[in-house]
């Protein structure tokens, strides 16, 4: 490991990933948790957006199980009780929550009927994604997209 100089020869990423897979060391992203002071509003929003019922473990925590992992919501006050007071639920300007959908045009039409804050209307991106962006009630940006032929 260690830091490499940009001009130093390194193995291509696909070789490194292959080695990790053979050793059983490739990590699996299992859970993303959004800490929020507005748990009920966020639960209602994500239930409408994801079109699934949440799994409620307790009144301060909600999980939505998705195909490739779990999205959780955790009430900020309880988070602090567990010694994680530095974690604060506020608008995030560094992370996108990206959800791949089967038919982005259909989802876009459905979202037009929801009360959401729009960040970007439906468009085809230069990298081959057709996508739109909205904000959740806490201000986090969600990207709904699908790959398209170019």
Q: In the chain, where are the structural domains located?
A: 1-89, 91-150
| Bridge partners, 124 (sequence order) | 130
pTM (2 decimals)?
0.76
Q: Going by C-beta distance under 8 Å and a sequence separation of 6 or more, which residues neighbour residue 102? A: 146
In whole angstroms, give the CA distance from residue 82 to residue 94: 25
Q: Report residue 115: phi and psi, to 5°.
A: -90, 95
CATH for 1-89? 3.30.720.120
Return the biggest CA–CA distance within the chain.
53
Residue 127: half-sphere exposure toward Cβ, Cα within 13 Å: 3
What does each of the 150 residues of the chain score in pLDDT, given as a tens digit? 444 444 445 555 555 555 656 666 788 888 999 999 899 999 999 999 999 999 876 789 999 999 988 999 999 888 777 777 666 656 566 788 999 999 999 999 999 999 999 999 999 999 999 999 999 999 999 999 999 986
How is domain 91-150 classified at the CATH fold level? 2,3-Dihydroxybiphenyl 1,2-Dioxygenase; domain 1 (3.10.180)
- Domains 1-89 and 91-150 alike in fold: no
Helical H segments across the chain, by residue range: 13-23, 39-50, 76-81, 104-112
């Amino acid at each position: 490991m260690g830091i490499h100089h940009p001009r130093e020869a390194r193995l291509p990423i696909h070789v490194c990933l292959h080695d990790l897979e053979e050793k059983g060391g490739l990590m699996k992203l299992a859970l993303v948790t959004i800490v929020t002071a507005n748990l009920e509003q966020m639960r209602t929003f994500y239930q409408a957006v994801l079109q699934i019922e949440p799994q409620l473990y307790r009144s301060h925590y909600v999980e939505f199980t998705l195909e490739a992992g779990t999205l959780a919501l955790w009430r900020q006050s309880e988070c602090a009780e567990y010694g994680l007071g530095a974690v604060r639920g506020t608008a995030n300007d560094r992370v996108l929550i990206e959800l791949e959908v089967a038919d982005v045009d259909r989802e876009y039409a459905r979202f037009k009927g929801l009360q959401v804050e729009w960040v970007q209307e439906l468009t085809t991106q230069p990298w081959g994604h057709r996508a739109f962006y909205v904000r959740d009630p806490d201000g986090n940006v969600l990207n709904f997209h699908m790959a398209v032929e170019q």
